[in-house]
Amino acid sequence: MNRSLAESFRYAYAGLVFAWRTQRNLRVHGVATILVVAVIVFYRLRLVEAVVLLLAIAVVVVAELFNTAVEVLVDRVVGLEHDPAAKIAKDVAAAGVLVAALGAAFVGAAILLPKVR
């Protein structure tokens, strides 16, 4: 199937809207992004520092989106039954978000802590 670029963007936007509406943690990351942008402006961070912070946040958001995709697909395939493999898939996807968030927190601390001292 050969899609147009505009159609591909529409599908991606629909996925982002779905995740935003259904995933509380994605909305939390959205608020965190706004706060980080405010900090970038307030402390007048260098461009490279701002880019690194925003890339760290983007990694967390991407991880959250993949986690959402895994959760939705697993729920669709498995349904309400308890399945050990489904639990592992969901737990591993959630662990990916955790690792990304911890990495972003470390990056944020490394860049911002010297500024507030």
Handedness of CA 77, 73, 103, 105 (dihedral sign): negative
Q: Is 64 a catalytic residue?
A: yes
Instruction: Report the C-alpha gap between 26 and 39 in whole angstroms.
Output: 20
Dihedral sign, CA of 75, 25, 94, 65?
positive
Per the residue annotation, which of 49, 64, 71, 81 is the catalytic one? Answer: 64
> Any idea which residues carry the catalytic annotation?
64
